[in-house]
Amino acid sequence: MAEKIKLGRTDLQVSRVCFGCWQMAANEYWPVVEEDRLTRAVRRAIELGINFFDTADAYGDGFAEQLLGRMLKGIPREAFVLATKVYHHWLGEPGSPRVGDLSGDYIVWECEQSLKRLGLDHIDLYQAHTFDVMTHLEETARAFEKLKKDGKIRFYGVSNFNVEQLRAANTFGHFDTVQPRYNLLDREFESSLGPLCMTHNLGVLTYSSLQYGLLTGKFTGTETFNDVRAMSPMFKGEAFRANVEKVNRLRPIGDRLGRSITQLSIRALLEHPAVHCAIVGIKNEKQIEEAAGALGWRLSREDYYAIRQATT
């Protein structure tokens, strides 16, 4: 069964690979993936002991939550830990313009909508997706506390907050987890949120752990894209080719250790002492199987630093 960990100071026992569900959004960021294929991936994850799922109301304006809810139907509630997020308030039908919103009334109302879409009676981890400059943190914290007291959520946390925003948030509430961008090609977390998370034993789940797939070693640097990668400078021109070159330097290390580039990239994140889980965006069974192969073994200090050097 997959390696598990207590998520910081929460009581949640989660697999160290978290199944990322943004890829279920079916929009301009991640075009449609067949439902059957995603369902098989979710079922395979459960079989492998991957019990942690990360989604958001914003992924397809509710679509991804609805889909995940359908896929988890029939699976015992204690067999999975569900994380979702709130912030992007869409102003009409799905696909309509969105504004940031962490106001108290909106959080409480939107949590109810997420529960309906997911078909659940509680959310294990409810995350503020991004910092809302228009709402006082005391009001935001009070809303999350109310949801906790009412049994709608078990724990709450943040994503995309900087150090000062997180510090301030925790003077008003108990934001127990952090979801930062962190991967071998983007290590800002190490000098920003990482030390603070360790100080307060916050649960850390990294996103873009594979830098949109770049850290799997499957690209040559000549591809063009019709999804979120078309919007990323890391997948353009010289920068793309240079990134591919760095990733390819991992190949001999992987060959020597009998691990794929994907597995080395995930494992390296999990060796950081502040990191509990790596969220990996999954589209099919094969991808979750490969991600699960990053669990249950360790990188030696020598290999860890060789991996860092290769990707610098």
Ligand X SMILES: NC(=O)c1ccc[n+]([C@@H]2O[C@H](COP(=O)([O-])OP(=O)(O)OC[C@H]3O[C@@H](n4cnc5c(N)ncnc54)[C@H](OP(=O)(O)O)[C@@H]3O)[C@@H](O)[C@H]2O)c1
| Residues of this chain that bind ligand X (CB under 6 A) | 20-23, 54, 129, 159-160, 179, 207-213, 216, 218, 262, 279-281, 283, 287, 290-291
Task: Please report where in the chains the tokens 């102003």 appear, as a residue.
Answer: 91
Q: Which long-range contacts (CB under 8 A, 24 or more apart) does 94-98 make?
A: 94/60, 94/61, 94/62, 94/63, 95/27, 95/61, 96/61, 98/58, 98/61
- Contact between 121 and 115 under an 8 Å Cβ cutoff? The reply is yes
Tokens read off for 93: 């039908």
Q: Is 59 a catalytic residue?
A: yes
Shortest distance (Å) from residue 240 CB to ligand X: 14
Indicate the residue among 285 and 303 with the shorter CB distance to ligand X: 285
Shortest distance (Å) from residue 149 CB to ligand X: 25
Shortest distance (Å) from residue 170 CB to ligand X: 18
Beta strands in 171-271 (DSSP E): 175-179, 203-206
Measured distance CA(174)–CA(144) in Å, rounded: 9
Shortest distance (Å) from residue 283 CB to ligand X: 5
Shortest distance (Å) from residue 302 CB to ligand X: 25
Measured distance CA(289)–CA(287) in Å, rounded: 5
Indicate the residue among 150 and 296 with the shorter CB distance to ligand X: 296
Indicate the residue among 41 and 143 with the shorter CB distance to ligand X: 41
- Report the residue number whose CB is nearest to ligand X: 20
Indicate the residue among 23 and 170 with the shorter CB distance to ligand X: 23
Instruction: Name the percent of the chain in helix, strand, coil, to the closest 5.
Output: 45, 20, 40
Shortest distance (Å) from residue 211 CB to ligand X: 5
Measured distance CA(18)–CA(288) in Å, rounded: 9
Measured distance CA(98)–CA(90) in Å, rounded: 4
- Contact between 207 and 180 under an 8 Å Cβ cutoff? The reply is yes
Among 29, 59, 106, 207, the one annotated catalytic: 59
Q: Which residues of 221-257 are buried (b: 16+ CB within 10 A; e: fewer)?
A: beeeeebbbeebeebeeeebeebbebbebbeebbeeb
Measured distance CA(64)–CA(95) in Å, rounded: 13
Indicate the residue among 170 and 208 with the shorter CB distance to ligand X: 208
Phi, psi of 299 (to 5 degrees): -95, 135
Indicate the residue among 136 and 283 with the shorter CB distance to ligand X: 283
Shortest distance (Å) from residue 163 CB to ligand X: 17
Indicate the residue among 82 and 149 with the shorter CB distance to ligand X: 82
DSSP track, 22-36 = GGG--SSSS----HH
Q: Exposed, middle or buried by CB within 10 Å (0-12, 13-18, 19+), for 64? A: buried
User: Which residues carry out catalysis?
Assistant: 59
